[in-house]
Structures are given as C-alpha cells and as structure tokens.
Structure 1
Amino acid sequence: MATGKQIDTDILSDEIFDVLCSMCKNKGRNAEGEKYCVDCKDYFCITCVQVHSQVPLCAGHNVLDKSQVKSGTSKCYPRALAERCDKHSHKHIDMYCQIHDNVGCSTCMAVDHRLCKDTFYIPELIQNNTYQISSREIQTMLKALATTLAEQADRFKQDKQRLLKRKAELLADIRKFRQEINDHLDKLEKSSIDEIEDKVKCFEDTIEDGLKQLQANKFRITSASDKLASKKANPAEVFVYVKMAEYAANVANNYVEHTKMKCTVEDIMFQPDRTILTQLEHRNTLGTLSEKLTKTSVNLFQIKGNKSYNVKVKSGKYDCYTSSVCCMEDGSIILVDYMNKKLQRLHSCKYTVTDYCDLPAYPMKCDQ
C-alpha cells in the first residue's frame, strides 16, 4: 500500500493506485484515496481524512470506506447517496421501505417505518440488482405533471385576476348603495327642515299680525289722549273726544283680554325617530355577501392501465367475494372473503396472499 510520501507522478498509473487523495494531489504529493466523502465528492487518504473531519463545516459529512465505493474506471462513483433527509438534515437518504414505496434516512426508518419488514439499504439494493429503476417513465410523468401544474398555475392567476376585478365591482356596488342611502337621508333631512320652517313661519305670521293690531290700538289710544289734552277744544269737541277715547279704550282692552286667552308658543321641540338609528345599530353590514363556488376538475394523474390479481386461496371452494377491505399500519391489506369465510392478508406491492385465517361463520358487516 502506498503512503503519503513524495512519488513521481510521471510513473503513477491506475495499476499503482485506483484513486488519488485529492488534498495530497493538490499539494504535489500522491497518496491512495482510502476514504470517500459523499458531500465533497472527493477521495482522501487516512491522514487527510482526519484533517477533513476536523473542519467544522465538514464534521457532518458522510465519509465512506473505499470498499463501499464502486471503482475500476476513472469515473468512480459512490454506492451511497448524497441527498440529505428533509426531516433529519444531518442524515443522508440511504434507506428504502418497499411496503410504503418510500425512501428516507435511517432515523426515518426507525421512527416512521419501525413496523415495516421490507426495508433495505439502497446501495446494497441497487448493487444486488434486486430492484430495477426505470427513470424514463418517471421523467415522462414528471414532465407531464410539470405541464399540468403550469396550466393550473395559469388558471390560478386568471382566477386571481377575476377575483380582484369582482372585488372592485363589489366595492363599487357598496359605494353606490351607500350613496343611495345618503341621498334618501338628505331627503329626510330636507323634509324635517321644511316642516320646521313651515311651523315657525306660521307662528311668526301670527306674532306679526298681533304686533300690527297692538300698534293700531296703541295709535288710537295715543291719538285720543292727545285730543283730550288739547286746550283749544270746546265743550262739544271735548264730548266727542271723550266718547272716541272710551271706544278706543274698550277696543284695546278687549284685544288685550282676547290675546291673554290664546296659547303662546314658548318652544318648538323636535323628537327624532329613533327606530331609524336602532335599525342601523342592529346592522353589521350594508347587505349580505354570498359565495358561488365554481369547481374546476383538474386531473393530475391519468389511468393508463389496470391489472387483475387472484387473491383466492387454494382451500377456497367458491369464488372470492370481497365484502370489506382494510389497510393496516404496516401497509398490508386485509380482505374479507365472505363466500369462503376467510380473513386474508395481502402484500401491499405484490398483492399476493401472505397468510389467512378461517372464520367460524359468514362475516357480518358492521355499520358503525
């Protein structure tokens, strides 16, 4: 085995070392790469891999032995995967659960698939050729899905534009209705003001008429008093003036007594209609909002074919009639064969009967 000491690179060939330590090679030395870092995608010798592990950013990297890496060509690639787990970022996805047809890290398998029996280490599964992968069909399906999702995204954008347009229309309707309410309230306000104006005008005219009559009576009283005070009047004129003064006094006195019997206006009161305000207080909005949902069917997957599986066991006398189906936690499927009075367990992927048990009578379906 070669060490980390200086070696002439001109005489180095694949017959001496399968791969070289990348750090030593950068420093002009040649050492065999005994370790492979999946994250860095580089080979390291025993000395350099210790330095690599001491770097804080590289402390969690997945380092493999050279025996775990396929070699033989200039383009060596690891059997382990470099993809990290979404749930456990410090772990790499290197496990596969055949029952649930799902991949994950070792922690995922220990937590979420602890009851599953068919779990495999992916590098060994691929190396042993026990599982074949057809990426071409998956790529075709992903491309079709990408197109479908893009079309759905366009529909979402169009729905959003229609929604925003409808929002503007609804807001305009609300403002229009509010304006109608304002116009009607303006009419009610004008009617109330006109009513007050008419009422005040009526009382004002009555008061003005009373003032005119008072002025007339006052003028007659003053005139009669002045004539009686005249020194040039003879006895006959005095007699006339006295009678005219008595008449003016009687008229004025009668008017005073008449006005005392009339009701005087002290104040005009306005009593608002509180039912209008009560109705507004009991309203949370200016109207009701209803929704009309339009369902659009989007098929992300299309059925391209189907298969039939024979789940009848050899001891069954009649054709299998499945009355109930149940999916268990480990991914297996439980079928109830009514006619043959059997309870069967199927493999989740192969859909073959793994075991069954005979029932003492025909199984009854429970509605609860």
Structure 2
Amino acid sequence: MATGGSEVASDEFSDFHCFICTYKVAVKYCVECQGYCCQSCVDTHSRFPALKSHTLLDPSTGKVKGSSITLPTQRCSINTIKFFDMYCKDHDEVGCITCMALKHRFSKTTKEEVTIKMATGDSEVASDECSDFHCFTCTDKVAVKYCVECQVYCCQSCVDTHLRFPALKSHTLLDPSTGKVEGSSITLPTQRCSIHSIKLVDMYCKDHDEVGCTTCMALNHRSCINVHSIPDDIDTLFSTKDLADINRGLENTTKRFENIELKKEEALVGLNLSRKKADMKIDTEKQELITNLENIARQSKEDLRRKYETAKDEIEKDRQSAKEFKDGFRKLTTEFETSAGNKSQQFVCMNIAKRKIKEGKDSLSDFKCNGEASVSFHVDSGILKFSRDTKIFGRVKSTIGTSHHYTVETVKDMNVKLQDDGTTCDISGSCLIRWNAVIS
C-alpha cells in the first residue's frame, strides 16, 4: 500500500505490524496516518477528536469494512497534510482541496465532477473547547497548548501524543492564553466550518464578503477573483476601523434585542397572569353552571316528589274505598248466615245487600283495576343536546401586541409652495394616504 510523498508519513512495516508499536500485529490501516495500526493505536484514534474521522481500512484488502469503496492514500506534494481527493476536469489535474480552492477556482466543471470523495468524510463533529484551560481528553489535567485542528485544549501528555502520531504532527499548537504559535506573531483562525465540520474557516472571498473553509471556496467560489487565505493575508484584510464599527454595530444590535427580550419577558408575565384570570373565570362559570344544574335537579326532584305524593294519595284513597266495600259485603254475608230460619230478617238483609251490590257495581267504574303504578323522569332533549354539542364554555381569544414597521421606498424634495407665498418655510409632519403608505 502506497505511503505517498508526505513528509510526515511513516514507513510501513511488513507483515502488517503497527508502525508505532512495532512489535504488535496491525489490525487496521489508517489512510490519513498512512500506516498500519494495532488495536491500541486504533483505540487512540477513537480517543482524539482529530483522529476520530480517520478512515481505517482492512490491512489485507485496503477497503473500508462492509464497503466496496476504495479511497485515495496519496498525499499532496504541496500541502503535505492533505490528500489528492479532488479532480479538476478542465485541466485534467488531481490535487488536494487547498489546490482546488487556490488554483482551480475558475473551472467551469460542475460541483459533482469536482468532488471525488473527501477522504476524511464529513462525519466528525467539532468538539467544544473546555473552559479554564483544562485538557479536553484528560479533564483533570491543566492544558499547556490549544490545537487548532482538534479545536481542544491539550495537556502535556496529549501534546506528546500529537508528536507521536503522523496525522497529528502537522497540527498547529497555540499558546492557550494568547492564541499564538510559540515564537511567532501569526494568529490562526480556530473556527470550524458549519458545513464541513472537520475544516477550519481559513479562507475569505472578498467578492461576496464571505469566509469559509477551503472546501466551501473550491465548490462555491470557484469563479471569484478575490479569494484570500486568511492567515497569509490577514494584515491587508484586517482593519481596526472595521473592528470598531462591528463592535458598535454588535453593541447597538445587542441593546435592541435586549430591549425586545425584556418586552417579551414582560409579555410572558402578562400572558401568565391573563391565563390565571381566564382559568379562574372558567372555574367561576363552571361553578355557576354546576349551581344552576343543582337547582334544576332539585326542582326536578321536587316535581317528582309532588307527582309521587299525588299518585300515592289517589291509590291510598281507592284502596281504602275498596276495603270499605269489601268489609260491608263480608258483614252482609255474616248477617245472612246468622238470620237463617228468620225469613223476615233475611228479607231485610236481602234488600240491604241488593242496595249495597248496586252501589258497589256503580263504584267499580271509578276504580283503576290495573295494579301497576310508577313515576318516571325524562330529560329535556334540548338540554341534553346542548350539553353534548357544547365543547367549551365560551370563545377563547389570544392577543399578541405587534408593531407595524414601515420601510422607506423613495426620498425626494417636494415643492409645495403656493403662488401667493411670500417666504420659504419648512413643513414637517406625516400623513397616511389611501393605499396605506405614509408621507412624512
């Protein structure tokens, strides 16, 4: 497997032995380090942010595990820490991403033809810097350097690891307090690209007044003339006047948004209070509705009681009348039995019984012979339908205060002088015209 022309690339060991731990058998080949790695060195790759995105290949096949894709391993002869992973079809040349950004910006080839395959991928997520200058990896140790490419603080042990791994040797280590390379006045950007997260924002397109990484410049600013490397041209690009203007602009904009934040906080307080009031009103209306329903239910029960008492009295009256007839008939029957042999008395009893039987028959029509009696309740269909159809007590209204902003479309002087005006005067004011425009 080729090691390329990199000045930081190590020689490969035969029989797939680790190029650092020479006595250990290699289990992977690192494209970026251009060397075989044992399991311990593979674990170190997963430990450091700058090594996490390295492509580890099978040492016998040269392929990523589970994939048929092969990746370029040749390093650029100019930018030795980068790979020949870009191709310019217009010039039939291969190069690294920096070569494409600086030398092939005017190529008319489409983006799809320019990008072959980023050897390092775009999967690495930039690590957050640790505060108080503590090592990102060894969190209990004090940091002595800041790595631009890793975007983390490093203790002395991690600095030694940088010197040990070829892919980390070329990293720029800055003083953590000054942000400068030791013994140099040059400062380097530490911001990573939001699109290509493993790239640093170290390029500037003056034509569009945009900063970006080398990949952004190669893909989006190929036709631009004024593309600069920020570290190389920082003296001509940086202006203290611009810095002061930006600081003033940031301060003014910050104050405006602070004011908006305060107003929104006040609006939230008012919104919470209004919600509590609305909740209380709903509870009040609910209680009133419950009270009304209880009154309706009480009136319904009272009506039920009256109907029941009326029916009960009527039944009791009929029952008592029936009992009286029954007792009278039994008494007559007894008298018939006791007057046996006394025809005169039997005749009197017969006459009385005949009259009672007639009275009884006449009274039968006044009795309801059906033995069933009941009272029932049927809900008002209107109330039932209203309760089923009604989803809320009332209408809920939300009001958010907004201010209307007008934009100035044209500015010009208007001559409104009348013929009989003797002097010139200034007129100021505003008026709203028909199509919702303002003249001021």
Report what 1:279 is aligned to.
386
Q: Secondary structure at the match of 1:166?
A: helix
- Residue 156 of structure 1 pairs with residue 264 of structure 2: yes
Q: Secondary structure at the match of 2:387?
A: helix
- Residue 242 of structure 1 pairs with residue 368 of structure 2: no
Deviation at 1:109, TM superposition (A): 2.2
Query: Partners of 1:50 and 1:232 in 2: how far apart?
Result: 143
- Match for 2:217 among 109, 112, 117? 109
- Residue 295 of structure 1 pairs with residue 413 of structure 2: no
| Counterparts in 2 of 1:192 and 1:130: CA distance versus 1, 3 Å | closer
Report what 1:46 is aligned to.
none
Deviation at 1:103, TM superposition (A): 1.6
Query: Partners of 1:252 and 1:63 in 2: how far apart?
Result: 126
| Counterparts in 2 of 1:259 and 1:170: CA distance versus 1, 3 Å | same
* Matched letter for residue 149 of structure 1: F
| Counterparts in 2 of 1:122 and 1:240: CA distance versus 1, 3 Å | same
Q: Which moved more, 1:53-62 or 1:249-258?
A: 53-62
Query: Partners of 1:130 and 1:229 in 2: how far apart?
Result: 142
| Counterparts in 2 of 1:173 and 1:78: CA distance versus 1, 3 Å | same
Query: Partners of 2:326 and 2:281 in 1: how far apart?
Result: 67
Structure 2: gaps of 5 or more residues: 1-145, 152-158, 175-179, 409-440
| Counterparts in 2 of 1:100 and 1:140: CA distance versus 1, 3 Å | same
* Contact 1:38-1:78 at 8 Å conserved across structures: no
- Residue 61 of structure 1 pairs with residue 61 of structure 2: no
Instruction: Provide, for residues 319-363 of structure 1, a one-character-per-residue CA deviation record: whole Å limited to 9, x for no partner.
Output: xxxxxxxxxxxxxxxxxxxxxxxxxxxxxxxxxxxxxxxxxxxxx
| Counterparts in 2 of 1:62 and 1:75: CA distance versus 1, 3 Å | closer
Report what 2:143 is aligned to.
none
Report 1:178-197 matches (<5 A): 178-197=286-305
Provide TM-score, normalisation by structure 1. Answer: 0.55
Deviation at 1:209, TM superposition (A): 0.8
Query: Partners of 2:223 and 2:294 in 1: how far apart?
Result: 76
* Matched letter for residue 242 of structure 1: M
Deviation at 1:210, TM superposition (A): 0.6
* Contact 1:84-1:90 at 8 Å conserved across structures: yes
* Contact 1:95-1:103 at 8 Å conserved across structures: yes
Query: Partners of 2:297 and 2:286 in 1: how far apart?
Result: 16
Query: Partners of 1:175 and 1:233 in 2: how far apart?
Result: 88
* Matched letter for residue 111 of structure 1: L
Deviation at 1:207, TM superposition (A): 0.9
Provide TM-score, normalisation by structure 2. Answer: 0.47
- Residue 142 of structure 1 pairs with residue 250 of structure 2: yes
Query: Partners of 1:218 and 1:56 in 2: how far apart?
Result: 125
Computing the radius of gyration from Cα coordinates, the structure with the larger value is: 1
Query: Partners of 2:310 and 2:321 in 1: how far apart?
Result: 17
* Contact 1:224-1:241 at 8 Å conserved across structures: yes
The aligned length equals 249
Deviation at 1:38, TM superposition (A): 4.6
Q: RMSD in angstroms over aligned alpha carbons?
A: 4.0
